[in-house]
Amino acid sequence: MATNWFNKTVDETVSTLKTDMEKGLSTEEVKKRQEESGFNELKAKKKKSLFIKFLEQFKDFMIIILIISAIISGVVGIAEGEGITDTIIILIVVIVNAIIGVIQEAKAEKSLEALQKLSSHVAKVMRNEKIEVVASRELVPGDIVVLDTGDYVPADLRIIEAVNLKSQESSLTGESVPVEKNIELIEDEKVGIGDRTNMLFSSSLITYGRGKGIVVETGMNTEVGKIATIINDTEAGATPLQIKLNKLGKTLGIAALAICIVIFIIGIAYGKDIIDMFMTAVSLAVAAIPEGLAAVSTIVLAIGVQRMVKKNAIVKKLPAVETLGSATVICSDKTGTLTQNKMTVEKVFCDGTIVNLEDAKEMIDIKELVYASMLCNDTKISDDKKLTGDPTETALVDMAFKMDYDKSVYDKLPRVSEIPFDSDRKLMTTVHEDDGRYVVYTKGGVDELLAICNSYILEGDIKDDLDEYKEIIRKYNSEMAGNALRVLAMAYKVLDHKPTDEEMKTIEGGLTFVGMVRND
């Protein structure tokens, strides 16, 4: 019976898996556990040989009818001295149809294998009393995994340490918003995956914060592994086109057989030779079989597949194209299932007005807004500018890149202190050194930010009449949020010294309001 790890405390989990949170497992223990539980990887169905795939192309009833008609046509042709030309043509059509099907299936499998290779990751794990980087497939139950923003979760983990930890689990739950994680015990035994806040699941992404977890399930025992098991055990059903062609094949087969019997009986009744009547009846039956139908349907489907390929779609079976064309309604669960789970800044409020992003470059105070968006932000940026993190935060950095700002901003103003985002405060604050002075940037909800501001910047000048300006801010905030879109506000202040730990407790005050952005 599966263990509900979310119902266990951290100490109970450590004791059950016989591990050490500080030292991790030894190399010898890892090898022993790998022999018991196997590698941490999903098992696919055993691949069929090329010959088996080729034979499977002949399973359709229409193809079987064509083969039978080809054989009969050959027998009739030889008997009447007309040769086997028709037989050869029919068999060529059938074989070409099978070859095209096998080639398409092989192409799709190669594409899927390439995607699987892209999804193979490494993990930071505590081994032999130190942190090592190992392939995810080598993890075993009891391993202590260290996670930071941007890391993929390599197995199902019971969280033992969480610092502002958030995980993107849309691949399992369909929920686009990252889930806040903690180490607290969950007592409800029937809680759903989306509410297991003390667990991290294989294939999900850490979008915020950092943490540690104990590997509790690997490979096919993980939640994503259970999905893979269901997929592997699912029997492939016939597509609408295959059903129709099979029905047509049966109808033609019965009709051909009926023709044979009727013509044969009539001929015998008129005193014709039995052999001659048999050959005549068979000839008429063969003529009733549309041998060109398989070729035409295959060519049409192949053209459809090529069009789908140009749209970056992977089609494994030719008839699947027609199946998609037969769909009238597609039901999908929540944002993040159909979309890329990304957000984009569309509107910017600065200098007392709201503009589209492409027009924001000309605004006088846009630099402070962009700096606040980039620096008060935990997005990870790779060398090729790939952004990893919370979708709301990655949208802010992407906005800066679109406005020709680059990664040099982070070197110019390094972070020296911070107050992480908190869902109760709805604010995040960072402190950055800037040539001997220190700049405090804060971002968050509009109302929460206005409550800690006492001034605002307008066309380069800092003004104190914030109470009057608040009405303008709230007006544009209502306009920007009117379509249920996310609005974030930015503020800053400059200090002549690095704030102490005591000062950081009250750093969020006396700020200058800069502007707002709207994420779509």
Ranges of each domain in the chain: 5-40+139-231, 53-114+237-326, 345-519
Q: Which of 16-20, 290-294, 324-328, 430-434 has the lowest mean pLDDT?
A: 290-294
Task: Please answer whether residues 179 and 208 qualify as being in contact, where contact means their C-beta atoms are separated by less than 8 angstroms.
Answer: no
Radius of gyration, alpha carbons of the chain: 33
Rounded mean pLDDT of 178-197? 89
Q: Which residues, at least 6 apart from 200, have a Cβ–Cβ distance to it below 8 Å?
A: 147, 153, 156, 157, 159, 167, 181, 206, 211, 213
Residues 391 and 398: beta-carbon distance below 8 Å: no
Q: Who contacts 379 (Cβ-Cβ below 8 Å, separation ≥6)?
A: 149, 387, 388, 389, 390, 393, 394, 396, 397
Query: Which carries the bigger pLDDT value, residue 438 or residue 116?
Result: 438
- CA–CA distance, 151 with 286 (Å, rounded to integer): 64
- 223-256: b (≥16 Cβ within 10 Å) or e: bbbeebeeeeeeeeeebebbeebbeebeebbeeb
For the domain covering 5-40+139-231, report its CATH number.
2.70.150.10
Catalytic annotation, pick one of 11, 188, 195, 333:
333
Homologous superfamily (CATH) for 345-519: Calcium-transporting ATPase, cytoplasmic domain N (3.40.1110.10)
What's the token pair of residue 56? 């499977």
Write out pLDDT tens, residues 28-52: 999 999 998 889 887 766 677 777 7
Q: pLDDT > 90: what percent of the chain? A: 28
DSSP state at residue 25: B
Residue 153 phi/psi, 5-degree rounding, is -75, 120
For helices 240-269 and 292-310, what crossing angle results, to 10°? 170
Inter-residue contact 473 to 466 (CB < 8 Å): no
Q: Quick check: is 434 catalytic? A: no
Model pLDDT for residues 121-167, shown as the tens digit of each residue: 788 999 988 888 898 989 999 999 999 887 889 999 999 999 888 89
For 197-222, what is each residue's pLDDT tens digit? Answer: 999 998 888 888 889 999 999 988 88
The pLDDT assigned to 118 comes to 46
Average pLDDT, the chain: 82
Note the CATH architecture for domain 53-114+237-326. Up-down Bundle (1.20)
Q: Is the pTM of this model over 0.85?
A: no
Residue 140 φ/ψ region, left for φ over 0, alpha for ψ in the -120 to 50 degree band, beta for the rest: beta
As a whole number, mean pLDDT of residues 483-507 equals 88
> Is 280's pLDDT higher than 80?
no
With CA atoms as reference, report the closest residue to 218 among 226, 210, 206.
226
